[in-house]
Amino acid sequence: MGSSSAAAPPWKQLLLSSIQANSHLKHHSYFQLATVSSNNRPSNRTVVFRGFHDDGDEILINTDTRSRKINDLKHCPFAEICWYFTESWEQFRIRGVIDVVDGTTPDPLKLQQREKSWFASSLRSRMQYLAASPGLPAIASSEQPPSLDPSVGPVAAFGLLVFDPHEVDYLNLKSNERLLFTSAASVDAQKLWTSEKVNP
Amino acid sequence: MGSSSAAAPPWKQLLLSSIQANSHLKHHSYFQLATVSSNNRPSNRTVVFRGFHDDGDEILINTDTRSRKINDLKHCPFAEICWYFTESWEQFRIRGVIDVVDGTTPDPLKLQQREKSWFASSLRSRMQYLAASPGLPAIASSEQPPSLDPSVGPVAAFGLLVFDPHEVDYLNLKSNERLLFTSAASVDAQKLWTSEKVNP
């Protein structure tokens, strides 16, 4: 409420606390990402949380540009994250818009972030982007796995998804409380967040 | 793959094994359900697996008929389950169509299943359907929580979702294998399942 909330989204601290509280669990950094396919049907998959973009509220996700979600996002850029924390019984449903950053993106700042995300990935993760196209029929190959120079930048198949949240629906099943955070643009194009307590 | 596969979907045993292998983990019976809202945006939430319908492959989910997913499903009956098993690193993406069964459903067999699902729920679960409408602004109430006779059948807000799977995309991140199961209707309206190995 007020201009100060543009700098610090009120749900972000809640989310960071949940990540912290569940950090001893394997895969606390996984969530499910829903999109709409070009046939207008829903699509849903598990992806890895790669942190926030700088100090803002945009969520980073790495992806293979050959995967179906890229086509989904060209058709409809809206997405919903469902992030459930099994230990603390908290759910974050995060609604927003995804910007796909690949090697053809003209914006140098976005390309820089893509490169940063590439080098922040393990070598094993990077190797996946050299593998055969995901989802296509598997053909047995006698070829040696490709080698990858650790100093080489992102390959063509490496894409960065920048998820810009507009609304966050937070549910705490222990306290049986639910909060709905919604954003509106201020005159200087900053997001202004407000929250409302709703029935769980 | 022959008519015998109509009786036993090949992915079902795989799913039952995963549930079994992860049964010592809290909430191994939770998955994420994606739908498309009437504004054509994706929607995603965690729901509880309530078992299969009889001996078939239809998946049962309880829901509040006042929740937004009911409107989503009226707009678009297609849904995608994303079920990730954190211990065995397996993901099932299950695509299908949802039939919403509520008190107004004319089919007596469906109403019977709804009643069965109601009584299979804990009293605590049933109490949720007597609470204030989910998602609406919370108003502090001084009223006593309503009481519920354990022998009384389903209340109006109790809905049963019957999810009919058409396609299952199975990914095993330990073995790095991915299988795509697809169904087609046979001449006697049975589902015939076939599978294909695809790139992970």
Of A44, A132, A133, the CB nearest to B82: A44
pTM of the shown model = 0.95
Higher pLDDT pick, A29 / A8: A29
Tell me the nearest-neighbour CA distance from B196 into chain A, angstroms.
7
Longest dimension (CA), chain A: 62
Are β-strands B30-36 and A42-48 bridged in parallel, bridged antiparallel, or unpaired?
Answer: unpaired
Pick from B30, B80, B180 the residue to mutate for testing the A interface (most A CBs within 10 Å): B80
Q: Considering only CB atoms, which chain B residues are within 8 Å of A76?
A: 40-42
pLDDT digits (tens, 9 = 90+) for A126-139: 999 999 999 999 98
Digit-coded pLDDT (tens) for B48-68:
999 999 989 999 999 999 999
- What six digits make up the tokens of B11? 């992915």
Of B85, B71, B68, B73, the closest CA to residue B25 belongs to B85
Q: How many angstroms from the chain centroid is the CA of residue B140?
A: 32
Residue A149 pLDDT exceeds 90:
yes
- Domains annotated for chain B, with CATH where assigned, are 6-130+156-198 (2.30.110.10)
Q: What is the pLDDT of residue B2?
A: 38
Q: Could you tell me the sign of the dihedral formed by the alpha carbons of B37, B42, B45, B47, in that order? A: positive
Interface test with A, best of B45, B66, B125, B168 (most A CBs within 10 A): B45
| Per-residue pLDDT at A2 exceeds 50 | no
Q: What is the pLDDT of residues A5-14, one digit of tens each?
A: 446 799 999 9
ipTM tops the 0.90 cut: yes
* CA separation for the pair A49, B31 (Å, rounded): 18
Would the CB atoms of A40 and B36 count as touching at under 8 Å?
yes
Residue range A153-173, pLDDT digits in tens: 999 999 999 999 999 999 999
pLDDT at B7: 61
Contact criterion met (CB < 8 Å) for A84 and B35: no
Interface of B with A (CB under 8 A): 25-27, 30, 32-36, 40-46, 76, 78-82, 84, 86-87, 91, 93, 95, 131-138, 178, 180, 196-200
- Mean pLDDT throughout A34-56? 97
